Amino acid sequence: MINRRKFIRHSVLSTGAILLAQNLNARIPSTNSFPLVISTWAPNVKANKVAWEVLANGGRALDAIEKGVMVTEADPDDTSVGYGGLPDRDGNVTLDACIMDELGGCGSVMCIENIMHPVSVARLVMEKTPHVVLVGRGAFEFALKNGFKKENLLTASSEKFWKEWLKTSMYNPMDTMKHMKQKRAPGSIDNHDTIGMLAMDVNGNLSGACSTSGMAFKMKGRVGDSPIIGAGLFVDNEVGAATATGVGEEVIRMCGSHTVVEAMRYGKSPKEACQLAVERMYKLRKNNLNDMQIGFIAVNKSGEIGAFSLREGFNYCYRSGEGLDVVNDAEFLLKK
């Protein structure tokens, strides 16, 4: 069977031109041109495409990333984000998302249910409230008041997967972690998870967003890194932006995305900054990271991009001033 990741590398791509697979590594720019959009995980080329339309028309990075992330949130086949996301151990689809703009604005929703586009609710938290985070019922009611519809997000196939899991589950959080580790085992062909998206618009302004249904079969109320400003996402328009995917507990422990941006502030390239964050995590936590995956992507103010992960298997996709989609495997720390 063809490996999904390889298939995407060979077949993706874009509106106008196609980058041949053998050229991909050669084409990773050390200095990118902007506008640009970069997302975690290869299947998010479809989200980049929509974000790109906004950017190519001179739109704001904030609008681009919201529109882009909405594509993945509405995709029933993506079982890690939005509609079709795998539920918690009680069968509830609970979603986490956050957003940051070029002005230091940020908004987040945690554990929101029955709302298809948490990224847009997070944007409204940023723009219409004096707060940064709304959770659970409060986030849901805020969404309804702002015109969002209540929707059932548990698809038949996600429900089936959950019911299968219930048969063998000991209903124990440690087992859930084990399940997630297996899901993210190196070589997994279906390893796309949270969407983290970063964009730079024609004015050189940065924004970012993150959206996820989090860890499948998690404890009720569990929140990962994705909606936590500084963990799953951080944007500093003077320096750069970063976002994370993988086991959120580990990313929260070391304020992952903030760590990446601070490393860029002190001179590291985006790739070096992502690597520094992964190495720091590994140094602190190596006995607890068996089989886990954690990955970062980053962009700096010059439009350079980079990525790095703990293990093999993390990939990312971007589209830049050349108007081409590129999918690439991240470099990683733990070689076999």
Give the binding site for ligand ASP (CB under 6 A): 80, 193-194, 212, 214-215, 224-226, 245-248
Neighbour-count burial for 72-109, b at 16+ CB within 10 Å, e otherwise: bbebeebbbbbbbbbbbbeebbbbbbbbbbbeebbbbb
Please, which residue, 116 or 292, has the CB nearer to ligand ASP?
A: 292
Query: How far from each other are the two terminal CA atoms of the chain, in whole angstroms?
Result: 23
Quote the least distance from Cβ 57 to ligand ASP, whole Å.
Answer: 30
Spatial distance between the Cα atoms of 202 and 217, rounded to a whole number of angstroms: 41
CA distance 125 to 109: 8
Nearer Cβ to ligand ASP (107/248):
248
> Which distant-in-sequence residues (6+ apart) come within 8 Å of 226 by Cβ?
96, 97, 98, 194, 196, 210, 211, 212, 214, 232, 233, 244, 248
Give the Cα separation of 101 and 35 in Å (integer): 15
Q: How far is the CB of 24 from ligand ASP (least distance, A)?
A: 23
Q: For the CB of residue 27, give the shortest distance to ligand ASP in the complex, in Å.
A: 26
Q: Which is nearer to ligand ASP, 207 or 245 (CB)?
A: 245
Task: Fill in the DSSP letter of residue 50.
Answer: H
Q: What is the DSSP letter of 43?
A: G
Q: What's the token pair of residue 317?
A: 């996709």
CB count, 10 Å around CB of 248? 28
DSSP letter string over 269-303?
A: -HHHHHHHHHHHHHHHHGGG-TT--EEEEEEETTS
User: Minimum Å distance from CB 193 to ligand ASP?
Assistant: 3
* Nearer to ligand ASP (CB atom), residue 194 or residue 207: 194
Which of the residues 40, 72, 79, 194 is marked catalytic?
194
Is 194 an active-site residue? yes
Shortest CB 215 distance to ligand ASP, Å = 5
Based on CB atoms, which residue is closest to ligand ASP, 117 or 222?
222
| Active site (catalytic) residues | 194
